[in-house]
Amino acid sequence: MIRLFRASNFRCLEKVELNFGPKFNLIHGANASGKTSVLEALAYLGRGKSFRGASTANLIRHGEGEFVLFGEVGDGGDGGSSRPVGLRNSRDGLEVRVAGESAPSAAALAEALPLQVIDPEVHNLIAGGPELRRRFLDWIAFHVEHEHLLHWRRFRRALKQRNAALRSRADESLIKSWDAEFIDLAAHLDESRRRVLELSLDGLREHGQALLQTDLGFEYRQGWNSDKDLRAALAEGLERDLQMGSTQSGPHRADLKVSYDERQARKLVSRGQQKLLASAMILAATDTAQVAQGRPLLLLLDDPAAELDRHSIERLMAAVAALGCQVIATSLEEDALDFPEQPAVFHVEQGRVCSAVK
């Protein structure tokens, strides 16, 4: 969780400082006042990248050369320890510091400030392609299993090397020489995704019931023919891989099939239902990670009221409140969201935080 937060020259924010409450926080303001900018800055501090996929050049305030973000983050315990996390990003690159030490990668940010985001694009987790759903599972795995990141990085490298060999039309024996490592790392990824899905399954179903009053189903598709082991699938697909210049079988092609009342969710549910379904998945993932880490995570809600009817907003906010995580939400109106207790309230106007009432 985060208490003190400072941002300078991030999107429309010239210089802001906010002291967040440990539980519920509301940032409200008119359109284009800077609400999403504050949440995006927070998410950037926990990920080292934008949740909207925006480029660094677009995130730096117009006319400036760099943005700087800083937070005091803690584990949520009463009077518990807190440590400074900061980053500076210019067109020359990203510089990260955690607890006074320079950090080699953005993974140190995710470890220091684990967070999830529900924003107006969240329905893409259901409506979009498989990559977001793979990322969803990998996010849980990263926060639950220590070795996941290492395996994932090594797998990506093995995949790149195999693809490069395919494209250079290397000798078949050279391509196959990558296969042993590729298969070994694929097995690690595959197993950890299956484990964390299993671990989250009750929570996924419970949140599905809470938000949509329906049965949700989740089925992991491993990314290659389920009748075969990966070695056989790679051997069988070699001709096709050579033609396409990339590996078509493996966990990088996996998907998570989501069903709603036993029907395929992606094709059948409305946009509002997609948002609720995706939110149910994110809340369940947050819950799994919180339990595994034994500390509250940060949940960022960007305009959660958008596209939801009154009852749906109430159900969503009740489920959010029950999680026990730190919540920072935005909305146009001050009273649009039902928090179970008075949140810390911030009003934003033209990129400035005008008031903080506790």
Ligand X SMILES: Nc1ncnc2c1ncn2[C@@H]1O[C@H](COP(=O)(O)OP(=O)(O)OP(=O)(O)O)[C@@H](O)[C@H]1O
**57-79: burial string, b at 16+ Cβ within 10 Å, e else:** eebbbeeeebbbbbbbbbebeee
9 binds, among Mg ion, ligand X, none (CB under 5 to 8 A by kind): none
Q: Which residues pair with 15 in a beta bridge?
A: 8
Residue 157, number of CB atoms within 10 A of its CB? 13
Burial environment of residue 148 by CB neighbours within 10 A (0 to 12, 13 to 18, 19 or more): buried
Q: Choosing among Mg ion, ligand X, none, which partner's interface includes residue 12 (Cβ < 5 to 8 Å by kind)?
A: ligand X
What residue type is 50 in one-letter code? Answer: S
- Can you say whether the dihedral through the CA atoms of 230, 128, 30, 10 is positive or negative? positive
Sheet containing 216-221, strands listed edge to edge, beginning at the edge strand earlier in sequence: 216-221, 255-260, 263-264
CA atoms lying within 13 Å on the CB side of residue 8 = 9
CB of 330 to ligand X, least distance (A): 6
- Decide: is 31 part of the binding site for ligand X (CB under 6 A): yes
Structure tokens at 314: 């109430």
Site string for ligand X, 62-101 (x = CB under 6 A): x---------------------------------------
Instruction: Tell me which of 1, 2, 23, 61 binds ligand X, using CB under 6 A.
Output: 61
The structure tokens listed for 259 are 């069903």
Task: Write the interaction track for ligand X spanning residues 244-283; mark x where CB under 6 A is met and - where it is not.
Answer: ----------------------------------------
Residue 186 binding result from ligand X, Mg ion, none, given CB thresholds of 5 to 8 Å by partner type: none
Per CB under 6 A, 55 contacts ligand X: no
Given 36, 192, 200, 312, the residue binding Mg ion (CB under 5 A):
36
CB 330 within 8 A of CB 305: no
CA distance 104 to 153: 14
331 near Mg ion, rule: CB under 5 A: no
What is the full DSSP assignment across 298-348?
A: EEEESSTTTT--HHHHHHHHHHHHHHT-EEEEEESSTTSS--SSPPEEEEE
Nearer to ligand X, 7 or 185 (CB): 7
- Kindly tell me which residue out of 21, 34, 46, 250 binds ligand X, with binding defined by CB under 6 A: 34
36 binding ligand X? (CB under 6 A): yes
Structure tokens at 17: 């400082």
Query: Residue 124's Cα: distance from chain center in Å?
Result: 12
Nearest approach, Cβ of residue 51 and Mg ion (Å): 12
With CB under 5 to 8 Å by kind, the binding choice for 31 among ligand X, Mg ion, none is: ligand X
> Least distance to ligand X from the beta carbon of 349, Å?
10
Start-to-end CA span in the chain (Å): 18
Return the residues of window 292-351 that contact ligand X according to CB under 6 A. 303, 332
| Among positions 23, 35, 123, 143, the unique one binding ligand X when judged by CB under 6 A | 35
> In this chain, which stretch among 25-33, 184-192, 221-229, 236-244 interacts with ligand X, using CB under 6 A?
25-33
Span from 34-42, 194-202, 210-218, 221-229 in contact with ligand X (CB under 6 A): 34-42
Distance of CA 269 to the CA centre of its chain: 22
**In the complex, least distance from residue 112 CB atom to ligand X, rounded to whole angstroms:** 24
Nearest distance from residue 40's CB to ligand X, in Å? Answer: 7
Q: Which of 18, 20, 24, 29 binds ligand X (CB under 6 A)?
A: 29
Which amino acid appears at position 340 of this protein? Answer: P
Q: Which residues bind Mg ion (CB under 5 A)?
A: 35-36
